[in-house]
Structure formats: structure tokens, C-alpha cells
Amino acid sequence: MKPVLHERLLPDGADNGMQARYAHTRDVLRKALVGKAHGEIAVVSSFGAESAALLHLVAEADPATPVIFIDTRMLFEETLAYKDQLIRHLGLSNVRTVSPNGAAISDTDPFGRLHLTDTNACCGFRKTHVLREALDGFDGWITGRKRFQAATRHGVGTYEQAADGKLKINPLAFWSKQDIDAHFDAFDLPQHPLVEHGYPSIGCAACTSPVAAGEDARAGRWRGSEKTECGIHFENGKLVRTGGAGAGEQA
């Protein structure tokens, strides 16, 4: 299906700051996906509440970009349906769904209750290990992380180096919530169906709850625990970040 892209490059009324962020993001994606400046790069997407913004820009650069989607086998049915909707809407032609295999589930979490006793272990085998295998053969990956999303993400930059040596690229790191909303409106992007029910951040169904006004956007993830991240952006429980403002960053 032909991608639903537009000749328009910016939302109406975009100020200088938004224009600069858009130009920076498009340049980062063009260099990574078209120019192959960093080798073979994949996009990792949850197809969550804000994912359509990044995926729209990825499709604009190259709709055949490899997009890795982790189906933990515990996702909302709405997320799975939304994934299929966005693939059709944007014309993405290389979305790869990866999941923990049946043997891993049988050995580690046969009753689907591990998240009640050890959320880190649950995320470890359902997401972290699966992603590590899916990224084999790639030199780096693109994420949709943004500084405004949570306190744990305030220091996110455009480029980071993971402990395994792979490059992690965050093209929307400096975008604001207003930028995201304007992008959805300007390009008629469909919303995840759970957004209107109070889910600004969406993970597994068992570990995601609605967020009240004034709460952190990720407050509904693992509510009632100290856990704030699934682990794919951490090494040994700590955020690993190298490289800084000199590497194509934008304040």
C-alpha cells in the first residue's frame, strides 16, 4: 500500500524552535537510514501512544527501513491492532515482529504470573533478550525516547553508545509533547485507541494503568513499584550513556 505521506514538512504555525527540531530529526534519520552513515540501523518501536510520529518520519525517509516490534505475548489487543493499522497507513514494508519463544515461556513463566513477583525478570526474558537477538547483525538502532517523558529520560541525547558497542539513536530526544501533538494533527496520524482512555505510555497489559492529570506520563507503568523502565535502555540496572552535545546534539 502506498504510504500516506504529505508534501507538507511542518505543522502550521511552527516556530523557529520547532522548525530547528524538525530539520535536525530529518537530518539524523536521512543520514542513518538513507546515507548509512552508521552502518546497518533498525528502528525499534512499541507501536505505542507516540510511536506514529517517529514511524511517519521513518517512512518519509525510507518505508523499507527494518522496524522491530517486540510482542511480549502480554500486550494489549489494542496495541496489536494499532500496529497493523499504522503499517497500512504509513506503508511500512519491513516490520519484523519478534517474541519470546514457547520454550522460554514454558521454562520461565508458564503461568504468566512472573510479573507479579519479579518484573525485571519478566521484562528480561520477554523484551531485553528478545531484542538483543533481533538486533544481531545491526550496528545500531533508533528509538522514540524523548526527554519530556520521564525523569529517567531527562538527559537523553540524540546519540548514545550502548555497552555492547551498538549505537543508539534518539531522533526525537529534544521534541516536546506539543511537538508530538502538532505532528499528529498536521499529518493526520491515527492515535493508539488507549490514549483517549488515559494511557499516555503503553506497555504490557498487566503492568500498565491509566495516568491521572498532572502525573508523569510513565506513572502508569509498573505502578506501585520503583521500576520505571523495562530494561532495554539499561545495563545492569543503570542507564548507560556515552557521547554528548558535540555529536549532533541539539538543545
Q: Which residue has the higher pLDDT, 119 or 27?
A: 27
Q: Within 13 Å, how many C-alpha atoms sit on residue 51's CB side?
A: 26
Length of the chain: 251
Q: Which residue has the higher pLDDT, 240 or 26?
A: 26
What pLDDT was estimated at residue 95?
98
Give me the CATH number covering residue 56: 3.40.50.620
Does 246 reside within a domain? no
Could you report the per-residue pLDDT of 153-181, keeping only the tens digit for each?
667 889 998 878 899 999 999 898 899 99
What pLDDT was estimated at residue 217?
75
Does 156 reside within a domain? yes
pTM recorded for the entire structure: 0.85
Judged on CB neighbours under 10 Å (0-12, 13-18, 19+), 110 is exposed
Does 7 reside within a domain? no
Q: What type of residue is 158?
A: T
Q: Within 13 Å, how many C-alpha atoms sit on residue 40's CB side?
A: 8
Q: Which residue has the higher pLDDT, 207 or 193?
A: 193
* pLDDT of 122 strictly over 90: no
What pLDDT was estimated at residue 248?
38
- Looking at the annotation, which residues are catalytic? 230
Domain that holds residue 182: 16-239
| Number of structural domains the chain divides into | 1
Identify which of 80, 81, 77, 46 has the alpha carbon closest to the alpha carbon of residue 202: 46
Percent of the chain clearing pLDDT 70 (strictly above) = 82
CA separation (Å) from 224 to 109, 126, 207, 208, 237? 22, 21, 10, 11, 18
What pLDDT was estimated at residue 147?
78
Does 1 reside within a domain? no
Does 99 reside within a domain? yes
Residue 49, φ and ψ in degrees, nearest 5: -60, -35
* Of 11-25, 138-152, 190-204, 228-242, minimum mean pLDDT range: 228-242
What pLDDT was estimated at residue 14?
79
Does 247 reside within a domain? no
What 229-232 contacts at long range (C-beta under 8 Å, 24+ apart), as own/partner pairs, is 229/152, 230/123, 230/127, 230/128, 230/203, 231/120, 231/123, 231/124, 231/127, 231/128, 232/44, 232/123, 232/127, 232/128, 232/131
Res. 37 pLDDT band, cuts 50 70 90: very high
* Highest-confidence segment of 10-14, 74-78, 233-237, 246-250: 74-78
Could you report the per-residue pLDDT of 226-238, keeping only the tens digit for each?
665 555 544 433 3
Does 154 reside within a domain? yes
Per-chain mean pLDDT for the chain:
84
What pLDDT was estimated at residue 209?
87
Does 117 reside within a domain? yes
What pLDDT was estimated at residue 251?
30
Percent of the chain clearing pLDDT 90 (strictly above) = 58
Res. 123 pLDDT band, cuts 50 70 90: confident
* pLDDT of 133 strictly over 50: yes
